[in-house]
Structure 1
Amino acid sequence: MYQLQDYDRIFVFTGPYGAGRKTIADMVGETLGLQRVIPYTTRPRRSAEVDGQDYHFISESEFCRMHENNEFIETLNLDGVQHGIRERDIEQYLQQNGSIYLILNHRGAELLKNVYGSNLIRICIHTDEDTIRTRQRKRGYAEDVIARHLLDYPKAMAYRENCEHSFANTVPSHTAFAVAETLEQYLNRNLVPDIQ
């Protein structure tokens, strides 16, 4: 395993599904020049998703091969779908940049926290259930899909107590600015975030 340096920073954005954690994470990542680690999954690609940008979409057999070769530092099976973070990706990006970010649910965030300790900072992005329902309806999600997404809402919200930072996402641009300001303190680069 890569030997972590004191200055290495792994930022994990977590929170309820539909609260905007990916939107905020990518805005902050771009502002602060952080490299995103893309997870692997066996689920089918959704129409708006891009392979290698949202996930690495791979077959079940490819996932099993990688798992058998101990390539994943973390794997989860959610509703019969495999998800994994490749250890080599984390190591390479840390060596290149010193700071990286991931977008994970609370289970994945906890697993990585147990591995990386104080080098890993969890940021919970959250909002209320009604806002999540409204956003997902606007995106065309069926009611049963929205209901399934919200099943994990109580656990995801409870997990924010374990996170180093927590932000209510009401206006994404304001939330991203606040998160960027907070994370900048970990980077010691004296940059001023410029999110419009």
Structure 2
Amino acid sequence: MDKKIIVITGASGTGKTTISQYLKKKYHIPPVLTHTTRAPRAGEVDGVDYHFETDETFAKNHYLEQVEYSGFHYGSSEESLNQTWKKVDIASIVVDTAGAISYKKKYGDAAVVIFLEVDLETVAQRLHDRGDASERLIKRINSEEFKRDLKIPDELKGKSYEIINKDIDLTKKRVDEVINHLIFK
């Protein structure tokens, strides 16, 4: 089987991490570890949760996408993907839509993009339910990145699987169809 990267994208609160965890649990498809310059939180382990980096070591990688958030750098690198591909044929990664476009441009058909979508009301409720403070929630929903990620970018139309995630069981069935198509085509 050719190497594949399942790129899970969409706005915050659309279920990207839930689907990544589902792929790992049901299909043993591991997520590619991303890099960060922030310090590990309690219980986090370097090489398990993230590649924890200094500003200097972070700068040495080749990133497909990277962002700065609260003064820290986050990114997904070609190095980490290649490390994962040495162990498995299929891996997953959760990125914003700009990152998904980068993966599609770089890897073509090897990048299988799943775009998760829900209506704004549902997303807002999910973010609230997971504990986002009201002022943070309002700031996030009004951000350019959030608005951008609510709809599929033109660069990914017709090149990705679009799944409306209103019902997680139906979403998992659609994801199963995507995986079965990849494995058994």
TM-score normalised per structure 1: 0.78
Corresponding residue of 1:56: 50
Contact 1:41 1:55 in 2 (8 A): no
CA deviations 1:159-180 (Å, max 9, x no partner) are: 3551511111112132122112
Q: CA RMSD in A?
A: 2.6
Q: 2:165 aligns with which of 169, 175, 184?
A: 169
Give 1:94 deviation, angstroms: 1.5
Q: Which one of the candidate residues 28, 39, 44 is aligned to 2:34?
A: 39
Matches within 5 A, 1:20-99: 20-43=15-38, 50-51=44-45, 55-56=49-50, 58=52, 62-67=54-59, 69=60, 71-79=61-69, 80-99=71-90
SS of the residue 2:75 aligns to: strand
| Partner-residue secondary structure (3-state), 2:108 | helix
Alignment partner of 1:103 out of 90, 94, 97: 94
Structure 1 counterpart of 2:151, one-letter code: A
Shift of 1:19: 1.1
Match of 1:181 in 2: 177
Q: What code does the residue aligned with 1:64 have?
A: E
What's 2:13 paired with? 18
Aligned residues: 179
What is the distance in 1 between the residues matched to 2:96 and 2:171? 19
Alpha carbons 2:33, 2:51 under 8 Å: kept: no
Q: Which residue of 2 aligns with 1:3?
A: none
User: Which ranges of structure 1 fall in alignment gaps of 5 or more residues?
Assistant: 1-5, 190-196
Cα offset, 1:115, TM superposition? 1.5
User: Which deviates the most, 82-91 or 157-166?
Assistant: 157-166
Extract unaligned runs of 5+ from structure 2.
Answer: none
Measured at CA, do residues 157 and 14 of structure 1 come closer, stay the same or move farther in structure 2, by a change above 3 Å? same
With over 3 angstroms needed to count, the CA separation of the structure-2 counterparts of 1:106 and 1:93, relative to structure 1, is: same
Q: 2:122 aligned with 1:128, yes or no?
A: no
Return the match for 2:146 from 145, 153, 159: 153
Q: Tell me how far apart the structure 1 counterparts of residues 105 and 99 of structure 2 sit (CA, whole Å).
A: 10
SS of equivalent residue, structure 1 residue 19: coil
